[in-house]
Amino acid sequence: MSHTSNTKSKGLFIMLEGTDGSGKTLQTELLQKRLLKEGYNVEQISFPQYGEKSAALVEDYLNGTFGTADEVGPYRASVLYAVDRYAAKAKIEGWLAAGNIVIANRYVASNMGHQGGKISDPEERQKYFDWNYHLEYTIFDIPRPDINIILHVTPEISQRLVDKKDERTYLTEGKTRDIHEDDLTHLKNAEQAYLDIAKKFPEFFLIECVEANDILPANTIHETIWNILAPKLP
**In a domain? residue 181:** yes
Give a yes or no: residue 4 inside a domain.
no
Residue 137 burial (C-beta neighbours within 10 Å; 0-12, 13-18, 19+): middle
- The pLDDT of residue 155: 83
CATH number at residue 57: 3.40.50.300
Per the annotation, where are the binding residues?
18-25
Count of domains forming the chain? 1
Which parts are annotated binding residues for ATP?
18-25
* 56 found inside a domain: yes
Residue 6 lies in a domain: no
In a domain, 2, yes or no: no
Is 5 among the domain residues?
A: no
Domain holding 115, by residue range, is 12-232
Instruction: List the Cα angle 130/23/229 in 5-degree steps.
Output: 65
Q: Does residue 3 lie within any of the structural domains? A: no
Query: What local confidence, expressed as pLDDT, does residue 179 receive?
Result: 55
Express each pLDDT in 49-104 by its tens digit: 999 999 999 999 989 999 988 899 999 999 999 999 999 999 999 999 999 999 99
Q: For residue 172, how many other CB atoms are within 10 A of its CB?
A: 11
Bridging pattern class, strands 101-105 and 42-46? parallel
Chunked mean pLDDT (size 10), the chain, 234 residues: 43 94 92 97 97 97 90 96 99 98 97 93 96 98 98 83 52 53 78 95 95 92 98 92
In DSSP notation, the chain reads --SS-SS--SSEEEEEEESTTS-HHHHHHHHHHHHHHTT--EEEEESS-TTSGGGHHHHHHHTTTT--HHHH-HHHHHHHHHHHHHHTHHHHHHHHHTT-EEEEES-HHHIIIIIGGG--SHHHHHHHHHHHHIIIIIIS-PPPPSEEEEEE--HHHHHHHHTTSPP-TTSPTT-SS-TTTT-HHHHHHHHHHHHHHHHH-TTEEEEE-EETTEEPPHHHHHHHHHHHHGGG--
Assigned domain for 1 exists? no
